[in-house]
Structure 1
Amino acid sequence: MTDSDESAPAGDPAEAPTIELDLPGLASGLACPSCGAEVLPGDGYCEECGADLMVRRAAPPDAAQAPCPDCAGTAFTDGYCDNCGRLAPSSRDRIERDLGTVAGVTDRGLRHSRNEDAMAFAVIGADSGRTASVIVVCDGVSTSAEPQLASQIGVDTSLEHVVHALRRGESAAAAVTAAIDAAQVAVSALADDYPDRSTAPSCTIVTAVVEPGLVTVGWVGDSRVYWLAADGGSSRRLTEDDTWAGQLIAGGAVEEAEAYKAPHAHAILRWLGPDAPPEPAHVHELLPDGPGLVLACSDGLWNYVWDADELARLAAGHHELLAKAAALTTVALDGGGQDNITAVLAVYPPDPPAEPSESELES
């Protein structure tokens, strides 16, 4: 297994495109899955609505208000049930999404009143023989106002920029760097609606692109990406935390378990939002030498299990990809669930090996 660190030159962040979510992917029939217009099997885009037929995206959170889980009430005032007074449930409390080669779970946890994490992911070129999976995870900074807004616009903006850049043929390193730059612009713009810019919505971000022969990761903050090797291979963390403890760990001063016992260990040094340090995103590339899983997660998971080999062992205990992500989330919930939890897994290689033909089997 070989890997390299490099910082790709940041592109000029273009105006964020209109977000088109929940497109089922490559058309297998003669109708666009978005608008129903007639398309040909080899078409990349629908000529009627412009839908990208080569991209499958996870559905966004449902905006509909769920009924009260205690009394089934449907009327809420100021965020509380009019009937029993319970805090109104949110569609973001728990989200599970599965696209086959990438799946994820985000959960409010047991101590927070809302889920300030967000996840977004997509599969490009499904059924084309050259599949790429794109993952974005953002964790809202709890000391900022309405951090859930920052995390949602962060994942939406970054995912769209990476998808469009890859479809244009750009490298994954350039794509994730420019996407995080664009997410920084979008999140910072939220501050215009707040009297105190210093407390406006902020978040961390990590983005991963999983394609044949290469895994590319970009990040700002302390959300993480892990390589979980299959068949007893060498698993490892691919990111370094932008925290006070992360600096100590990266410098080799202390072990991770000791570093995060310090009072200010989790204080983040970089983030998306107003007054963020004007530094380019970190970029790391991994060339896997065998099959495995790529895990993107918030600190709500790795606070409980940070060892890569242990994460690989826990994920290996389940067959389906979504079940693996749910099992990792359950570990954090069983451990106390003191923070929001997000775990997204992508299969490597993203394209399964081709089934041998009958003639090949005979020979």
Structure 2
Amino acid sequence: MTASPETATVLRAEHLVKEFRAGSRASARRVHAVAGVDLELRTGEVLGIVGESGCGKSTLARMLVGLERPTGGRLSYHGRDVTRGRAADRRALRKGVQMIFQDPYTSLDPRMTVLEIVAEPLAATRTGTFTARRERVVELLEMVGLSAEMLDRYPHQFSGGQRQRLGIARALALDPDVLVCDEPVSALDVSVQAQVVNLLRNLQSRLGVALVFIAHDLAVVHHIADRVAVMYLGRVVETGTVEDVYRAPAHPYTQALLSASPTTDRANRGVLGRRRILAGEPPSPIDPPSGCTFRTRCWLAHERCATEVPLLRRPDSPDTHALAACHVAEEALSGAAAHAPGA
């Protein structure tokens, strides 16, 4: 289900910042995990977030569900500021925005039964009687493809894919309108990844819940998402519809990510020789480069890139409607066309 432009905004991040202290002393340096992210999630849509390890995706996810307090910026849920707002607004966020964690082996308490695990959000919010909670758990298990006969089992009695289904059932217990999925399939066998992704897509369509889907696998994001945001070193460097970003990436970093994505299309057999290979490692978030943080690895870097932080803008090109934080996005687009398969 694709959200229309008129659909209401359910979650909005405005210049969201999260810093951590590197060390215990008062003079400890700051780690810029998230450095001013602007995002908007509309009711019922799927927003994919991609980027290298350490770019701030998981920290952003934890802020979106209220597990981390932002250092700066604003997070709004249905128009209400939950970073500085009333306690009632923060409770609404915790109930309406739920998280599916990356590792199903560590996100479930091994001492609790399936009934206790899935019913835990209901018990914590004192929702319903014990009988009503049990009935709700049975309904949720059936919703994610598990049997009511599993109620009294423990997590160690399940496979990785089944455990992740339990995590999904628990996240749906309070009937949220947003699910934040922090790489929900990366710890699973390849054989079950597609099953879990399809389950999430079906639940999203059936329940109308919006998804923030974080992943390394660009093919998975292309399959499930309506829009995508590309992160690099704590910032969103490109965002737009999946069709725009994947067809005509306007930021050099996005081009490198897509170029590194494996392909089985025989028509692209010559693409290996035209791939963009990034040199070096991402800079330290403790001491990021001035200006554009990607400039130290960018083949198009100009003098302006070292002195001026690029803002998200729409490139002056008919090829895309996406927004890219790049001073030379137009040059990057023309270069992408030259490196496209068949060029």
Question: Smaller-chain TM-score range?
Answer: under 0.3
TM-score by length of 2: 0.27
TM-score by length of 1: 0.26
Please identify which structure carries the higher helix content: 2
